[in-house]
Amino acid sequence: MKKVLLRGPILSRSGYGEHTRYMFRSLMSRPDLYDVCVLPLGWGQSSWVHGGDPETVLINEHIKKTYHIPGMQQGQIDINHFDISLQVGIPNEWSKIARYNIGVTAAVETTKASGQWIDCCNKLVDRIFVTSEHAKKSLVDPVYQVVGPQGEPHGELKCETPIDVISYPVRKITEDKKIHEDLQFKTKFNFLTVAQAGPRKNLNNTISWFLEEFRDNEEVGLVVKAHHMNNSRIDRENLTRQIEGISQQYKDKACKIYFIHGNMTDEEMSALYTHPNIHAYISATHGEGFGLPVFEAACNSMPVIAPAWSGYTDFLYADVVNKVSKRTKRTPMFTKVKYEVRQVQQDAVWENIVEADSSWCFPDGNDFKKSLRKTYEVYLPKKREAERLSRMIHERLEQDKMFQTVVECINKVLPEDMGELEDWFEKFNESVVVSD
Protein backbone atom coordinates (compact mmCIF):
# COMPACT_ATOMS: atom_id res chain seq x y z
CA MET A 1 0.00 0.00 0.00
CA LYS A 2 1.35 3.42 -0.99
CA LYS A 3 1.44 6.28 1.51
CA VAL A 4 -0.10 9.36 -0.09
CA LEU A 5 -0.19 12.97 1.09
CA LEU A 6 -2.99 15.05 -0.45
CA ARG A 7 -2.32 18.76 0.03
CA GLY A 8 -4.79 21.43 -1.08
CA PRO A 9 -7.73 23.64 -0.04
CA ILE A 10 -9.96 20.63 0.54
CA LEU A 11 -12.40 22.46 2.84
CA SER A 12 -12.57 25.62 0.75
CA ARG A 13 -15.73 26.77 -1.06
CA SER A 14 -13.87 27.31 -4.33
CA GLY A 15 -13.02 25.64 -7.60
CA TYR A 16 -9.72 24.41 -6.21
CA GLY A 17 -11.55 23.20 -3.11
CA GLU A 18 -13.78 21.03 -5.28
CA HIS A 19 -10.74 19.93 -7.27
CA THR A 20 -9.04 18.75 -4.07
CA ARG A 21 -12.17 16.91 -3.00
CA TYR A 22 -12.24 15.23 -6.42
CA MET A 23 -8.71 13.92 -5.86
CA PHE A 24 -9.74 12.78 -2.35
CA ARG A 25 -12.74 10.87 -3.70
CA SER A 26 -10.53 9.23 -6.33
CA LEU A 27 -8.04 8.09 -3.70
CA MET A 28 -10.85 6.86 -1.43
CA SER A 29 -12.18 4.73 -4.29
CA ARG A 30 -9.11 2.47 -3.86
CA PRO A 31 -8.49 1.93 -0.13
CA ASP A 32 -6.62 -1.22 -1.10
CA LEU A 33 -3.94 0.88 -2.85
CA TYR A 34 -3.56 4.07 -0.85
CA ASP A 35 -3.02 5.06 2.77
CA VAL A 36 -4.07 8.72 2.58
CA CYS A 37 -3.22 11.70 4.79
CA VAL A 38 -4.70 15.14 4.08
CA LEU A 39 -2.99 18.50 4.66
CA PRO A 40 -5.63 21.27 4.24
CA LEU A 41 -4.77 24.70 2.91
CA GLY A 42 -6.74 27.93 2.60
CA TRP A 43 -7.62 29.42 -0.77
CA GLY A 44 -7.51 33.20 -0.73
CA GLN A 45 -10.29 34.46 1.51
CA SER A 46 -12.79 31.79 0.44
CA SER A 47 -15.24 30.46 3.01
CA TRP A 48 -14.70 26.95 4.35
CA VAL A 49 -16.98 23.92 4.32
CA HIS A 50 -18.60 23.27 7.69
CA GLY A 51 -21.01 20.58 8.80
CA GLY A 52 -21.30 16.97 9.75
CA ASP A 53 -22.03 15.42 6.37
CA PRO A 54 -20.30 12.04 5.83
CA GLU A 55 -17.70 13.33 3.37
CA THR A 56 -16.59 16.24 5.58
CA VAL A 57 -16.35 13.87 8.56
CA LEU A 58 -14.21 11.49 6.48
CA ILE A 59 -11.97 14.34 5.30
CA ASN A 60 -11.43 15.49 8.88
CA GLU A 61 -10.48 11.95 9.91
CA HIS A 62 -7.75 11.93 7.26
CA ILE A 63 -6.60 15.41 8.30
CA LYS A 64 -6.17 14.17 11.87
CA LYS A 65 -3.82 11.45 10.61
CA THR A 66 -1.23 14.17 9.91
CA TYR A 67 -1.19 15.52 13.48
CA HIS A 68 1.44 13.12 14.77
CA ILE A 69 3.72 13.03 11.72
CA PRO A 70 7.05 14.65 12.67
CA GLY A 71 7.51 18.10 11.14
CA MET A 72 4.10 18.13 9.44
CA GLN A 73 2.63 21.04 11.40
CA GLN A 74 5.80 23.09 10.96
CA GLY A 75 5.89 22.48 7.22
CA GLN A 76 9.09 20.44 7.50
CA ILE A 77 8.02 17.17 5.94
CA ASP A 78 10.48 14.31 5.50
CA ILE A 79 10.23 13.54 1.79
CA ASN A 80 10.80 9.85 2.53
CA HIS A 81 7.71 9.61 4.75
CA PHE A 82 5.29 9.55 1.80
CA ASP A 83 5.57 7.62 -1.46
CA ILE A 84 3.50 10.16 -3.40
CA SER A 85 2.07 13.63 -2.90
CA LEU A 86 -0.84 15.16 -4.80
CA GLN A 87 -0.64 18.94 -4.46
CA VAL A 88 -3.69 20.84 -5.68
CA GLY A 89 -3.10 24.49 -6.49
CA ILE A 90 -0.98 26.74 -8.68
CA PRO A 91 2.59 25.68 -9.55
CA ASN A 92 4.42 28.22 -7.38
CA GLU A 93 2.74 26.63 -4.34
CA TRP A 94 4.11 23.16 -5.02
CA SER A 95 7.13 21.67 -3.26
CA LYS A 96 9.06 18.42 -2.90
CA ILE A 97 7.28 16.77 0.05
CA ALA A 98 7.34 13.10 -1.00
CA ARG A 99 9.52 10.72 -2.97
CA TYR A 100 7.31 11.35 -6.01
CA ASN A 101 5.20 14.47 -6.44
CA ILE A 102 2.19 15.27 -8.62
CA GLY A 103 1.04 18.85 -9.23
CA VAL A 104 -2.71 19.19 -9.79
CA THR A 105 -3.85 22.46 -11.33
CA ALA A 106 -6.29 24.28 -13.60
CA ALA A 107 -3.24 26.28 -14.74
CA VAL A 108 -4.07 29.73 -16.10
CA GLU A 109 -6.99 31.07 -18.12
CA THR A 110 -4.77 33.05 -20.48
CA THR A 111 -2.69 31.90 -23.44
CA LYS A 112 0.46 31.30 -21.41
CA ALA A 113 1.69 30.60 -17.91
CA SER A 114 4.52 32.64 -16.42
CA GLY A 115 8.17 31.62 -16.60
CA GLN A 116 8.12 31.16 -12.82
CA TRP A 117 5.32 28.61 -13.14
CA ILE A 118 7.11 26.72 -15.90
CA ASP A 119 10.24 26.58 -13.77
CA CYS A 120 8.23 25.19 -10.84
CA CYS A 121 6.63 22.59 -13.12
CA ASN A 122 10.08 21.36 -14.13
CA LYS A 123 11.76 21.42 -10.73
CA LEU A 124 9.13 20.52 -8.15
CA VAL A 125 6.94 17.73 -9.52
CA ASP A 126 7.27 14.50 -11.47
CA ARG A 127 3.93 14.74 -13.24
CA ILE A 128 1.14 17.28 -13.70
CA PHE A 129 -2.63 16.77 -13.82
CA VAL A 130 -4.63 19.54 -15.52
CA THR A 131 -8.34 19.99 -16.06
CA SER A 132 -8.50 20.75 -19.79
CA GLU A 133 -6.61 20.92 -23.06
CA HIS A 134 -6.60 24.70 -22.69
CA ALA A 135 -4.89 24.42 -19.30
CA LYS A 136 -2.30 22.07 -20.82
CA LYS A 137 -1.59 24.46 -23.69
CA SER A 138 -1.01 27.32 -21.25
CA LEU A 139 1.84 25.28 -19.74
CA VAL A 140 3.20 23.56 -22.86
CA ASP A 141 3.10 26.36 -25.45
CA PRO A 142 5.19 29.11 -23.78
CA VAL A 143 8.93 29.12 -24.51
CA TYR A 144 11.02 31.65 -22.60
CA GLN A 145 14.53 32.73 -23.52
CA VAL A 146 16.84 32.48 -20.50
CA VAL A 147 19.55 35.13 -20.23
CA GLY A 148 22.45 35.63 -17.82
CA PRO A 149 23.30 38.72 -15.75
CA GLN A 150 25.01 40.34 -18.74
CA GLY A 151 22.19 39.48 -21.11
CA GLU A 152 24.01 36.48 -22.54
CA PRO A 153 21.74 33.65 -23.80
CA HIS A 154 21.38 30.60 -21.55
CA GLY A 155 19.00 28.51 -23.61
CA GLU A 156 15.24 28.08 -23.41
CA LEU A 157 12.78 27.48 -20.61
CA LYS A 158 9.76 25.32 -21.45
CA CYS A 159 7.69 22.72 -19.63
CA GLU A 160 9.42 19.33 -19.69
CA THR A 161 7.23 17.53 -17.15
CA PRO A 162 4.63 15.00 -18.42
CA ILE A 163 1.05 16.31 -18.29
CA ASP A 164 -2.23 14.38 -18.12
CA VAL A 165 -5.56 16.04 -18.94
CA ILE A 166 -8.16 14.76 -16.47
CA SER A 167 -11.66 16.22 -16.61
CA TYR A 168 -13.99 16.54 -13.67
CA PRO A 169 -16.49 13.68 -13.33
CA VAL A 170 -20.26 13.85 -13.34
CA ARG A 171 -21.12 13.78 -9.65
CA LYS A 172 -23.98 11.80 -8.14
CA ILE A 173 -25.79 14.46 -6.09
CA THR A 174 -29.26 14.29 -4.59
CA GLU A 175 -30.97 17.62 -5.20
CA ASP A 176 -32.34 19.67 -2.34
CA LYS A 177 -35.58 20.64 -4.05
CA LYS A 178 -36.57 22.95 -1.20
CA ILE A 179 -34.67 25.54 -3.28
CA HIS A 180 -37.40 25.24 -5.90
CA GLU A 181 -39.93 26.36 -3.30
CA ASP A 182 -37.73 29.03 -1.71
CA LEU A 183 -36.73 30.74 -4.96
CA GLN A 184 -39.79 32.20 -6.60
CA PHE A 185 -39.30 34.38 -9.68
CA LYS A 186 -41.79 36.89 -11.07
CA THR A 187 -40.45 36.45 -14.58
CA LYS A 188 -41.45 33.56 -16.82
CA PHE A 189 -38.07 32.96 -18.48
CA ASN A 190 -34.78 33.22 -16.57
CA PHE A 191 -31.10 32.95 -17.37
CA LEU A 192 -28.48 31.94 -14.77
CA THR A 193 -24.85 32.89 -14.27
CA VAL A 194 -22.54 31.73 -11.45
CA ALA A 195 -19.33 33.69 -10.98
CA GLN A 196 -16.75 35.23 -8.73
CA ALA A 197 -16.99 38.96 -9.33
CA GLY A 198 -13.46 39.59 -10.56
CA PRO A 199 -12.00 40.85 -13.85
CA ARG A 200 -11.74 37.38 -15.42
CA LYS A 201 -15.42 36.46 -15.13
CA ASN A 202 -16.54 39.67 -16.89
CA LEU A 203 -19.63 39.75 -14.67
CA ASN A 204 -20.34 43.47 -15.18
CA ASN A 205 -20.65 43.01 -18.93
CA THR A 206 -22.73 39.86 -18.49
CA ILE A 207 -25.27 41.85 -16.49
CA SER A 208 -25.10 44.99 -18.66
CA TRP A 209 -25.56 43.10 -21.93
CA PHE A 210 -28.52 41.21 -20.50
CA LEU A 211 -30.14 44.49 -19.40
CA GLU A 212 -29.53 46.09 -22.79
CA GLU A 213 -31.17 43.20 -24.62
CA PHE A 214 -34.23 42.68 -22.42
CA ARG A 215 -34.78 46.09 -20.83
CA ASP A 216 -38.29 46.28 -22.33
CA ASN A 217 -39.32 42.69 -21.56
CA GLU A 218 -41.00 42.11 -18.21
CA GLU A 219 -41.08 38.34 -18.73
CA VAL A 220 -37.29 37.81 -18.65
CA GLY A 221 -34.89 37.70 -15.68
CA LEU A 222 -31.25 37.00 -14.86
CA VAL A 223 -30.32 35.01 -11.74
CA VAL A 224 -26.84 35.97 -10.52
CA LYS A 225 -25.18 33.61 -7.99
CA ALA A 226 -21.98 35.45 -7.17
CA HIS A 227 -19.45 36.59 -4.56
CA HIS A 228 -16.28 38.66 -4.45
CA MET A 229 -14.08 36.70 -2.03
CA ASN A 230 -16.27 34.74 0.39
CA ASN A 231 -19.78 34.35 1.79
CA SER A 232 -19.58 37.09 4.43
CA ARG A 233 -22.17 39.82 4.99
CA ILE A 234 -19.64 42.51 4.00
CA ASP A 235 -19.00 40.66 0.74
CA ARG A 236 -22.75 40.52 0.08
CA GLU A 237 -23.22 44.24 0.75
CA ASN A 238 -20.31 45.21 -1.51
CA LEU A 239 -21.53 43.07 -4.37
CA THR A 240 -25.12 44.23 -3.91
CA ARG A 241 -23.95 47.82 -4.38
CA GLN A 242 -21.98 46.80 -7.49
CA ILE A 243 -24.97 45.10 -9.12
CA GLU A 244 -27.32 47.92 -8.15
CA GLY A 245 -24.87 50.39 -9.69
CA ILE A 246 -25.07 48.55 -13.02
CA SER A 247 -28.84 48.15 -12.82
CA GLN A 248 -29.44 51.85 -12.12
CA GLN A 249 -27.98 52.71 -15.50
CA TYR A 250 -31.18 51.16 -16.95
CA LYS A 251 -33.76 52.86 -14.75
CA ASP A 252 -36.61 52.24 -17.16
CA LYS A 253 -35.94 48.50 -17.41
CA ALA A 254 -38.79 45.98 -17.28
CA CYS A 255 -36.61 42.85 -16.93
CA LYS A 256 -35.40 41.62 -13.54
CA ILE A 257 -32.06 40.85 -11.82
CA TYR A 258 -32.14 38.30 -8.97
CA PHE A 259 -29.01 38.24 -6.80
CA ILE A 260 -28.15 35.14 -4.74
CA HIS A 261 -25.25 35.30 -2.28
CA GLY A 262 -23.97 33.04 0.46
CA ASN A 263 -23.09 29.45 1.16
CA MET A 264 -25.06 26.81 -0.72
CA THR A 265 -24.56 23.08 -0.34
CA ASP A 266 -23.82 20.87 -3.34
CA GLU A 267 -27.40 19.61 -3.12
CA GLU A 268 -28.78 23.17 -3.19
CA MET A 269 -26.56 24.17 -6.12
CA SER A 270 -27.66 21.09 -8.03
CA ALA A 271 -31.29 22.09 -7.46
CA LEU A 272 -30.52 25.60 -8.72
CA TYR A 273 -29.46 24.18 -12.10
CA THR A 274 -32.69 22.18 -12.32
CA HIS A 275 -35.04 24.89 -11.08
CA PRO A 276 -38.18 24.71 -13.25
CA ASN A 277 -38.08 28.46 -13.87
CA ILE A 278 -34.37 28.78 -14.74
CA HIS A 279 -33.88 27.97 -18.40
CA ALA A 280 -30.34 28.61 -19.64
CA TYR A 281 -26.81 29.28 -18.40
CA ILE A 282 -24.82 32.29 -19.66
CA SER A 283 -21.21 33.38 -19.33
CA ALA A 284 -19.21 36.22 -20.86
CA THR A 285 -16.01 35.01 -19.18
CA HIS A 286 -12.58 35.93 -20.52
CA GLY A 287 -11.38 32.37 -19.94
CA GLU A 288 -11.63 29.24 -17.78
CA GLY A 289 -9.16 26.57 -16.81
CA PHE A 290 -12.17 24.26 -16.70
CA GLY A 291 -15.39 26.11 -15.90
CA LEU A 292 -17.06 24.10 -13.14
CA PRO A 293 -20.38 26.04 -13.10
CA VAL A 294 -20.60 25.68 -16.90
CA PHE A 295 -19.96 21.94 -16.49
CA GLU A 296 -22.62 21.57 -13.81
CA ALA A 297 -25.11 23.45 -15.97
CA ALA A 298 -24.35 21.23 -18.97
CA CYS A 299 -24.60 18.07 -16.85
CA ASN A 300 -28.07 19.21 -15.80
CA SER A 301 -29.25 19.72 -19.40
CA MET A 302 -29.16 23.52 -19.35
CA PRO A 303 -28.55 25.24 -22.70
CA VAL A 304 -25.25 27.13 -22.42
CA ILE A 305 -24.36 30.48 -24.02
CA ALA A 306 -20.63 31.28 -23.92
CA PRO A 307 -17.64 32.19 -26.10
CA ALA A 308 -16.14 29.09 -27.72
CA TRP A 309 -12.77 29.49 -26.01
CA SER A 310 -10.84 27.95 -23.12
CA GLY A 311 -11.37 24.98 -20.81
CA TYR A 312 -15.07 24.27 -21.09
CA THR A 313 -14.90 23.64 -24.84
CA ASP A 314 -13.59 20.16 -23.92
CA PHE A 315 -17.07 19.11 -22.79
CA LEU A 316 -19.36 21.54 -24.67
CA TYR A 317 -18.38 19.92 -27.96
CA ALA A 318 -19.28 16.33 -28.79
CA ASP A 319 -18.33 13.85 -31.51
CA VAL A 320 -21.47 13.55 -33.65
CA VAL A 321 -21.87 11.00 -36.45
CA ASN A 322 -23.50 12.29 -39.64
CA LYS A 323 -26.45 10.04 -40.52
CA VAL A 324 -25.76 10.24 -44.24
CA SER A 325 -21.96 10.33 -44.60
CA LYS A 326 -21.32 8.36 -41.37
CA ARG A 327 -18.45 10.73 -40.67
CA THR A 328 -17.75 11.89 -37.13
CA LYS A 329 -17.49 15.61 -36.58
CA ARG A 330 -16.64 17.57 -33.44
CA THR A 331 -19.81 19.59 -33.03
CA PRO A 332 -20.67 22.49 -30.68
CA MET A 333 -23.59 21.56 -28.45
CA PHE A 334 -24.05 25.08 -27.12
CA THR A 335 -24.65 28.60 -28.41
CA LYS A 336 -21.28 30.02 -29.41
CA VAL A 337 -20.58 33.71 -28.84
CA LYS A 338 -18.14 35.47 -31.18
CA TYR A 339 -14.93 36.70 -29.55
CA GLU A 340 -11.43 38.04 -30.14
CA VAL A 341 -8.28 36.89 -28.37
CA ARG A 342 -6.40 39.99 -27.23
CA GLN A 343 -3.90 41.07 -24.60
CA VAL A 344 -5.33 41.05 -21.06
CA GLN A 345 -6.51 44.37 -19.70
CA GLN A 346 -4.22 46.19 -17.27
CA ASP A 347 -6.53 45.84 -14.25
CA ALA A 348 -6.43 42.05 -14.64
CA VAL A 349 -2.62 41.74 -14.55
CA TRP A 350 -1.45 39.66 -11.58
CA GLU A 351 2.28 39.14 -11.30
CA ASN A 352 3.36 35.55 -12.05
CA ILE A 353 -0.27 34.52 -12.57
CA VAL A 354 -1.95 36.68 -15.22
CA GLU A 355 1.02 38.00 -17.17
CA ALA A 356 0.83 41.44 -18.81
CA ASP A 357 1.91 40.07 -22.21
CA SER A 358 -0.57 37.15 -22.18
CA SER A 359 -3.97 37.12 -23.87
CA TRP A 360 -7.48 35.85 -23.33
CA CYS A 361 -10.85 36.12 -25.01
CA PHE A 362 -13.03 39.20 -25.26
CA PRO A 363 -16.63 38.24 -26.10
CA ASP A 364 -18.46 40.34 -28.67
CA GLY A 365 -21.23 42.18 -26.81
CA ASN A 366 -23.59 42.40 -29.76
CA ASP A 367 -23.27 38.71 -30.54
CA PHE A 368 -23.72 37.86 -26.86
CA LYS A 369 -27.01 39.77 -26.85
CA LYS A 370 -28.12 38.10 -30.10
CA SER A 371 -27.35 34.70 -28.55
CA LEU A 372 -29.47 35.52 -25.50
CA ARG A 373 -32.35 36.58 -27.74
CA LYS A 374 -32.06 33.49 -29.95
CA THR A 375 -32.13 31.14 -26.96
CA TYR A 376 -35.14 32.95 -25.51
CA GLU A 377 -37.11 32.92 -28.75
CA VAL A 378 -36.18 29.43 -30.00
CA TYR A 379 -35.79 27.63 -26.69
CA LEU A 380 -37.05 24.09 -27.30
CA PRO A 381 -34.39 23.12 -29.92
CA LYS A 382 -31.72 24.53 -27.60
CA LYS A 383 -33.12 22.49 -24.72
CA ARG A 384 -33.17 19.29 -26.77
CA GLU A 385 -29.56 19.89 -27.80
CA ALA A 386 -28.61 20.43 -24.14
CA GLU A 387 -30.35 17.20 -23.11
CA ARG A 388 -28.42 15.30 -25.77
CA LEU A 389 -25.12 16.83 -24.60
CA SER A 390 -25.95 15.93 -21.00
CA ARG A 391 -26.44 12.27 -21.91
CA MET A 392 -23.07 12.24 -23.72
CA ILE A 393 -21.28 13.88 -20.78
CA HIS A 394 -22.80 11.41 -18.30
CA GLU A 395 -21.62 8.50 -20.40
CA ARG A 396 -18.13 9.80 -21.11
CA LEU A 397 -17.32 11.30 -17.69
CA GLU A 398 -19.12 8.90 -15.37
CA GLN A 399 -17.81 9.28 -11.83
CA ASP A 400 -16.34 5.81 -11.20
CA LYS A 401 -14.75 5.84 -14.65
CA MET A 402 -13.01 9.14 -13.89
CA PHE A 403 -11.86 7.92 -10.47
CA GLN A 404 -10.20 5.02 -12.26
CA THR A 405 -8.56 7.44 -14.69
CA VAL A 406 -7.06 9.38 -11.77
CA VAL A 407 -5.77 6.17 -10.19
CA GLU A 408 -4.17 5.04 -13.46
CA CYS A 409 -2.46 8.41 -13.88
CA ILE A 410 -1.18 8.36 -10.28
CA ASN A 411 0.33 4.94 -10.86
CA LYS A 412 2.24 6.26 -13.90
CA VAL A 413 4.42 8.24 -11.52
CA LEU A 414 5.79 5.28 -9.61
CA PRO A 415 8.67 3.33 -11.16
CA GLU A 416 7.68 -0.15 -12.24
CA ASP A 417 10.16 -1.82 -9.92
CA MET A 418 8.43 -0.25 -6.86
CA GLY A 419 5.18 -2.04 -7.70
CA GLU A 420 7.02 -5.25 -8.43
CA LEU A 421 8.89 -4.99 -5.12
CA GLU A 422 5.66 -4.44 -3.17
CA ASP A 423 4.11 -7.51 -4.81
CA TRP A 424 7.21 -9.52 -3.94
CA PHE A 425 7.05 -8.49 -0.26
CA GLU A 426 3.36 -9.40 -0.07
CA LYS A 427 4.00 -12.85 -1.52
CA PHE A 428 7.05 -13.26 0.71
CA ASN A 429 5.12 -12.40 3.87
CA GLU A 430 2.40 -14.86 2.93
CA SER A 431 4.94 -17.65 2.58
CA VAL A 432 6.83 -17.02 5.82
CA VAL A 433 6.14 -19.50 8.62
CA VAL A 434 7.16 -18.43 12.11
CA SER A 435 7.88 -21.11 14.76
CA ASP A 436 9.13 -20.87 18.31
Residue 231 has a pLDDT of 86
Query: What pLDDT, in 10s, does the model give residues 128-139?
Result: 999 999 999 999
Whether residues 22 and 155 fall in one domain: yes
Bridge partners of residue 104, in order along the sequence: 88, 129
Query: Residue 68 belongs to what domain range?
Result: 2-166+398-422
Q: Write the pLDDT tens digit of every residue in 9-21.
A: 999 988 999 999 9
pTM of whole model > 0.75? yes
> What CATH number did the domain enclosing 77 receive?
3.40.50
Predicted local distance difference test score (pLDDT) of residue 106: 96
Question: Is the torsion defined by CA of 108, 114, 120, 121 positive or negative?
Answer: positive
Indicate whether 215 pLDDT > 80.
yes
CA angle 189, 258, 235 (to 5 degrees): 155
Residue 328: how many CA atoms within 13 Å on its side-chain side? Answer: 3
Whether residue 95 is found in the same domain as residue 222:
no
46 and 192: one domain? no
What's phi and psi for 152, nearest 5 deg? -75, 145
Same domain, 284 and 388: yes
What is the predicted pLDDT for the residue at 424? 45
CATH number at residue 212: 3.40.50.2000
Q: Please check whether residue 62 lies inside any domain of the structure.
A: yes
Query: Over 70: is that where the pLDDT of 103 sits?
Result: yes
* pLDDT class of 251 with cuts at 50, 70, 90: confident
Rounded Cα–Cα distance for residues 20 and 6 (Å): 8
Residue 436 located in a structural domain: no
Could you give the number of structural domains in the chain? 2
- Strands 220-227 and 256-260 turn out to be parallel
Residues 376 and 411 in one domain: no
Neighbours of 347 (CB within 10 A): 8
In a domain, 431, yes or no: no
Cβ–Cβ < 8 Å for 283, 292: no
- Judge whether 429 lies within some domain: no
Residue 432 lies in a domain: no
Write a three-state SS string for 163-226.
Answer: EEECCCCECCCCCCCHHHHHCCCCCCEEEEEEEECCHHHCHHHHHHHHHHHHCCCCCEEEEEEE
Identify whether 428 is part of a domain.
no
Q: Is 433 inside a domain boundary?
A: no
Residues 224 and 187 in one domain: yes
Judgement on whether residues 160 and 233 belong to the same structural domain of the protein: no
Does 344 share its domain with 378?
A: yes
